[in-house]
Amino acid sequence: MILNSILDGVGGTPIIRLSRLFRGSQCEVLAKLEMCNPAGSVKDRPARYILEQGIAAGSIPPNAHIVESSSGNLAIALAMVCRIHGLRFTAVVDPNISPTNLKIIRCYGGHIELVTEKDRQGGYLESRIERVKHLVRGQPDAVWINQYANERNWQSHYHGEGEEILQHLDRPVDYLVLGVSTSGTLHGIARRLREAWPQLKVVAVDAVGSVLFGTPPCPRDLPGIGASRVPELLQRDEIGQVIHIDDYESAVACRELVKHEGIFAGGSSGSVVAAIQRLSAHLQRTARILTILPDRGERYLDTVYDDDWLSRMKRRHMGRLADISINASLGQTT
């Protein structure tokens, strides 16, 4: 097969049975490897779909300067798509972005706006969005695609992974377990699958410290999952269960994934694996579970796969467990 451009390589990612990591489990766990997309993550899909649909509709003119807030993966994907379509691109990022991601964005020709002031929730998302709005106000050719509210975000996953899963699986899954940030991936896939499999149970995986589902904010290091602001796309009534995973649990699960399955994945992949481990341990019957592994591990060499960083996250994790234990003994909830 010969493709016309790198963008034609977006999609068609494989589904792998995690039979070694979940050996002995009563559950069959399937993972779609979105890290196999050309720019290395699930965000290749919305980046291509949003920009090409916008270009076709005329809402993105030929000389547009695309500006977006991103924790890394969408910025990389947008930089790639903008390079092919001859558009300028600026990524508004925060200190949690890895040095590797910054270099990749610049290699694609993207520009960087770094936000260092935290927002009222203790994160950076609101600060990044305010910087985006400031840039757009000051540049007549600037276009904010707004991944947090853009309906084309979830539609890219509905027509992308959702359709591919139905084509490739021989029978329904019982649980769809997905990380959530903008909620575009979760809603897009879930909406398509539920059309074919109405009994599907949807489990969202959120980060400890994220405010998406009403839990209090607290420090977290890993990008790509959770948020310090509730996105406009999020529809909580479409989600049956939420599992919160902290940075340490994510990193440990990442290391188990590469140890047992040879899959070198990023932090949000560890989050969903840790959530599935917790979910499957409490199920009373056999179940078929499907997840998405969003990105590759080399972008997390300074965090997830760094032993010193892991030790710091373990101390934070143990401190959180101690607080939970103390609050429980006092009859308080966390």
pLDDT at 334: 46
Strands across the sheet containing 111-114: 111-114, 88-93, 65-69, 142-144
CB 113 within 8 A of CB 318: no
Q: Which DSSP string do the residues of 202-226 spell out, in sequence order?
A: EEEEEETT--TTSPPP------SS-
pLDDT at 72: 87
- Domains belonging to the chain, first-starting first, are 6-37+157-317 (3.40.50.1100), 44-144 (3.40.50.1100)
Alpha helices in the chain (DSSP H): 44-57, 73-85, 99-107, 125-138, 151-157, 163-168, 184-196, 247-261, 267-282, 307-329
pLDDT at 182: 95
Global pTM?
0.94
At residue 108's C-alpha, the angle toward residues 144 and 68, to 5°, is 15
Contacts of 121 (CB under 8 A, 6+ apart): 211, 217, 228, 229
Give the chain's radius of gyration (CA, Å): 19
Q: Which DSSP string do the residues of 232-277 spell out, in sequence order?
A: TT--GGG--EEEEE-HHHHHHHHHHHHHHH---B-HHHHHHHHHHH
CB 254 within 8 A of CB 300: yes
pLDDT at 224: 84
Other C-beta atoms lying within 10 Å of the C-beta of residue 120 = 10
pLDDT at 124: 84
Q: Nearest Cα to 49, choosing from 88, 13, 3, 11?
A: 11
pLDDT in tens, the chain (334 residues): 899 999 999 999 999 999 999 998 999 999 999 999 999 999 999 999 999 999 999 999 999 999 999 978 999 999 999 999 999 999 999 888 888 899 999 999 999 999 998 888 777 888 999 999 999 999 999 999 999 999 999 999 999 999 999 999 999 999 999 999 999 999 999 999 999 999 999 999 999 999 999 999 988 888 889 988 899 999 999 999 999 999 999 999 999 999 999 999 999 999 999 999 999 999 989 999 999 999 999 999 999 999 999 999 999 999 988 877 666 555 654 4
